[in-house]
Amino acid sequence: MTNLLELNDHGYFATRGLNVLAFSNWYDGLFSDAKISGIELIHHDVRTATNGDVRLHPTPAQWDATPLLQDRHVDPESGSVETHLAYPGHDVRYTVKVEVQGDGVLLSVDLEQPLPRELEGRAGFNLEFLPSAYFGKAYLVDGRSGLFPRYPTGPTTVLGDGTVEPKPIVTGRMFVLAPDDPARRVSITAHHGELQLFDGRNVAQNGWFVVRSPLPSATAGRVVEWFVTASTLAGWTRPPVIAHSQVGYHPDQQKVAVVELDRHDSLHPTARLLKLTDDGTFVEHYQDKARPWGNYLRYTYATFDFSSVREPGLYAVEYGDTRTHTFQIAPDVYETTWHPTLDVFFPVQMDHMFVREAYRVWHGASHLDDALQAPVNHEHFDLYAQGPTTDTPYQPGEHIPGLNIGGWFDAGDFDIRTQTQYATLLDLVQTWETFRIERDETTVDQERRFVALHAPDGIPDLLQQIEHGTLALIAQHRAVGHAIPGIVEPDLTQYAHLGDASTKTDNRVYNPRMKVGETDGFSSGTFDDRWAFTSKSTPLNYGSIAGLAAASRALRGYRDELADECFATAVRVWDEEHTHAPDIFAHGNTTGGSLEEEELRAAVELLICTGDARYAQRIDELWPAIERNFAKHAEVAVRAIPYMDASYAGRFEDRVAAYSQEIAEIARANPFGVPISTGGWAGNGRIIRFAITNYLLHRAFPQLIGAESIFAALNYIYGCHPGSAISFVSGVGAVSKEVAYGNNRADFSFIAGGIVPGVLIIKPDFPENKEDWPFFWGENEYVVNVGASYLFLVNAVNDLLKRAR
């Protein structure tokens, strides 16, 4: 059956079991087509369709052209949403209108004027359907039947320019998706033209099934009109979610499960904590009220507090007919939860190294041909840019020697983003200095470029990771005299590479005097080397030397010569930067943070290294910036207190008192007690940083900052969050992220110990983290610096628990 849709106060069409969003979300400006835009369907609480819009390709990929949204008008009186859009480069303006009609919605596209000649045969109205929602399901097209393919098998064609484009699987006027499944059945009838079904996975693993109507030539006004219905289950109510830590809890900590309910559901008065006995039976151990919390996003929430339970054992929470997976209450519950991150995730992310795990080779030694000088006045598609000069002794296209060492793959892709590298290094050093982790489970041999997982070599793994990050940063200063924004593939074909990073280039330095394919074993005529973007940026330089200064302390006694070089480089660059006005070259997210943020980092690390009054003076001069943006700067600035005068500590304490009220406001804003982001990238990284800041402030000012927010943040990462109860650390917890956006994402797999971004709020009110589709980078992409911050946080929580005993 289908219930009638109504336009609600949030500006989208809703009925029980179905929502139709009309441009509530817009293409991500940084990463283009993120599959979150246009007309979207949320079907029984699963977002199954997106990007309903006029596009210039049958199956648009990430960087294909997207239109400009000019305005959006919600008309409650007529029950319609009208959006005006344009492709300015082609002088195309059009309107997409969605309005309730009968038991569905009418989608229409009106062109202000006929398509220009260059878009004839190219432009069409697309609606993309999530493949994983339709695997194993059938379709009907004008009465003809078919099955949605589990794996792409064509058809495709080669265009005149050599590019591959999918051909329609089937065409017709009426399309029914999943006629056999009322939870996913969608019917589309074209009142104008035809419907075509494409499989976008034929050209990109992250492609979707696309239903498309080509726009007619020489026609203005109404060019597309679809009638769309979606079946709903009678009386459907979303099952409750019991958000809790999939890892479990320490006996001494607060233990609160958060019950997430459909607004149509009624609240059960109680919840129970069950204990698992030796014979496999669950017995009630504790019962208490499920206390109403209120509404947040689209759900209603209640809490179940079982903090009084301290007895170690295996437990589950039961609310009504819903029961969680088993979790621990144990004094050592967090002792090993960071091991997969250090033992597996970090080694797998190591660039320029061969990485083996038992029988498996994760990747060969990669990017040994790094790197060519990037061309001037060039803007790269992945947020890098080169300014009007190289700022190096090298000409565009010339090989810069010495950059093929150290560093980690930035994220699910393979670039060396310097800002990520030094952020990672700083957290690793702080973890080493604060908690002295000496775990050794990995062999790292820099001379042989060899890494073996689960093979101790007598050296603390954390120190070896610090060394690896340091080598990448110091290599830049050795090669060109300053930090560089990063090293990245020059073209999209290489950038989209999935699998073994060592096969992305031939690992031989490009020689323009050789023919394509020619090689002497050391260089080759194949132009596949990565580019080094080298524009000088003072903030980036400061961030880099902060990492080098910190590393010089950690490496002392292990790699003394490298430690000396790092310290000397940091001092030299600091002194040099203070002889001239800052070099400000800002582009994307690759040229460092703000000037004040990065200079503060460098000053604090150099102060800790030396105790030199000139660094203390500069920190004091930066106090207005610290005070103004305290939440961002506090975790760095607080570490300077032991080296500053009493007035600095006094000002700091006053600002911490005010900040404690900010923490309290965050705790009241949602039932999870942490700052949940609403932008295009989910907020686990921010939540971890929030907890680290609060831990450092708690250590310095325990009378002002409590520990509750620190535990809340870790619980959030482990499953106490909106939308589901999955642990966001792959391989950690009873239920964790097993489909993620790592470099093995095409296999629908994961890298143990990687941390994903988490819950993305699909505007206006839908929390999403896809568990069956890895390709949402804003929800599922591992980023290496989040792994480093997570290492610190887990050990910080262990430290708090030990201190409380």
- What pLDDT, on a 0 to 100 scale, did the predictor assign at position 605? 98
Burial class of residue 787, CB neighbours in 10 A (0-12, 13-18, 19+): buried
- In the predicted model, residues of the chain with pLDDT beneath 50 are 29
CA 463 to chain centre: 26
Per-residue pLDDT of 657-681, as tens digits, reads: 999 999 999 999 999 999 999 999 9
C-alpha–C-alpha distance, residues 475 and 530, integer Å: 16
The values of phi and psi at residue 486, to 5°, are 160, -175
The whole-angstrom separation of Cα 606 and Cα 561 is: 18
Alpha carbons within 13 A on the beta-carbon side of 756: 37
Closest CA to 225 of 170, 180, 188: 188
**Interval 37-47: pLDDT, tens:** 999 999 999 99
Instruction: Show the beta-strand stretches assigned E in 459-530.
Output: 486-488, 509-510, 523-524
Q: Which two tokens stand for residue 777?
A: 């980078």
**Predicted pLDDT of residue 28:** 65
Q: What are phi and psi of 143, to 5 degrees?
A: 90, -15
- Contact status, residue 486 vs residue 417, Cβ threshold 8 Å: yes
Nearest Cα neighbor of 451 from 344, 363, 353, 559 is 353
